[in-house]
Structure 1
Amino acid sequence: MADDVSNAIDFDDIKQSVEKSLGRTPEGWSGLTTKLFTEVKEYCDQKRATYPFVVQIKEKLGKLRIYHRCDDRHIQSMITATIARANRTCERCSNAAETQLLDGWYTTLCCWCAHDVASKRHPKRKRLFGVRKKPVRDQMTCGVCGYYGQIDRTDDRNRCPACVKKDW
């Protein structure tokens, strides 16, 4: 039964394989992952090694997951480095990002993409992220929308760049 699983990456059409798993975000995670497997393919071709078997590529709890079967330490380190980078960047555009709680779902989006997604779901609501039971005291959480990770340091009201631009 385990042998019935097919490789999630078609090394003849890497971009299409990645977009099938992660969606079409050429500047975001699918772009990073496509670049990773293109480099893995070049490495394997150079070493005349077999391509790694990729079981699954997905987002889970706001983090990129790549499940694979590969014994080559260099390929393992390439995959690990890409996952680490992706988990600090926006899924859609690769800007710096932190994992957010949005409508009960964990997602890793920059403040711009997060505001775009949240405002489409809740056009009249300002408090978009997380659950606010008491005033925010840390220096990285927007005092208006609750986005964690990017604060406009020129703003005296401790707001994220998207809230500053919207004049919230």
Structure 2
Amino acid sequence: MTHDEFVASIRERYVDLFDPDNTEGDWAYLITVGPGWWPLVEEYCAESQTLLREHGETGKWFIRQIKEKFGELRIYIRPVAEPLNVDWYSETLRDIDPPQPTPVAELLSDLRGQITEQANRTCEECGDPGGLHVVDGWYRTCCDKHFQEWQERKGLK
């Protein structure tokens, strides 16, 4: 399966998890991880969709981006922005405390932590057991085979 095919399958099966206003340009950068982590992305989407349905929160949260950063799987999910009521806002601004985490936000955060922890032990390229490797300030989570190939491409071996 190609990356484009994987993204298309995620878009189709988990339509409620993504902003319907995303453009094709948005989708080009929305999911940018290697195939070894695709099963983890699939698991995250399936479990978050179930969680949101169980709590009546479908369509209230959108995945904004799934990427690798510093060798770690990053999943950004945010609640859908509420339209701003300017009259209410100006009258009550001084009385607002920062919002408290909701049970759904905490469950989504816990799920993201579990999936990220699995990714920390999984080669992003092939899905085999792996770990974090650093070369010249570049980070990558991969197995020994893909670490060696990475070093060779960088001319370090």
TM-score w.r.t. the length of structure 1 is 0.54
Name 1:75's counterpart in structure 2.
108
Name 1:89's counterpart in structure 2.
122
Could you tell me which amino acid in structure 2 is paired with residue 45 of structure 1?
R
TM-superposition CA deviations, 1:93-119 (whole Å, max 9, x none): 222222112354111111011122333
Mapped to 2, the partners of 1:19 and 1:86 lie a distance apart of: 19
> Which of 49, 52, 65 lines up with 2:74 in the alignment?
65
Q: Are the equivalent residues in 2 in contact too, given 1:92–1:113 (CA < 8 A)?
A: yes
Q: Are the equivalent residues in 2 in contact too, given 1:22–1:29 (CA < 8 A)?
A: no
Mapped to 1, the partners of 2:71 and 2:127 lie a distance apart of: 14
Q: Are the equivalent residues in 2 in contact too, given 1:18–1:57 (CA < 8 A)?
A: no
Q: What SS class does the counterpart of residue 49 from structure 2 fall into?
A: helix
1:21 and 2:16 are equivalent in the alignment? no
Q: Cα gap change, 1:63/1:96 in structure 2, threshold over 3 Å: closer, same or farther?
A: same
Mapped to 2, the partners of 1:46 and 1:81 lie a distance apart of: 19
Higher helix fraction: Structure 1 or Structure 2? 2
Q: What SS class does the counterpart of residue 22 from structure 1 fall into?
A: coil
Name 2:43's counterpart in structure 1.
35
Name 1:44's counterpart in structure 2.
52
Q: Are the equivalent residues in 1 in contact too, given 2:33–2:66 (CA < 8 A)?
A: no
> Which of 104, 115, 123 lines up with 2:148 in the alignment?
115
Moved segments of 4+, more than 4 Å = 17-20
Mapped to 2, the partners of 1:96 and 1:63 lie a distance apart of: 14
Unaligned runs of 5+ in 2: 1-9, 18-26, 80-101
Q: Cα gap change, 1:44/1:13 in structure 2, threshold over 3 Å: closer, same or farther?
A: closer
RMSD: 2.9
1:56 and 2:89 are equivalent in the alignment? no
Q: Cα gap change, 1:78/1:95 in structure 2, threshold over 3 Å: closer, same or farther?
A: same
Larger RCO (CA within 8 A; separation ≥ 6)? 2
TM-score w.r.t. the length of structure 2 is 0.57
Unaligned runs of 5+ in 1: 1-8, 127-168
> 1:23: how far off?
4.2
Q: Cα gap change, 1:41/1:19 in structure 2, threshold over 3 Å: closer, same or farther?
A: farther
Name 1:165's counterpart in structure 2.
none
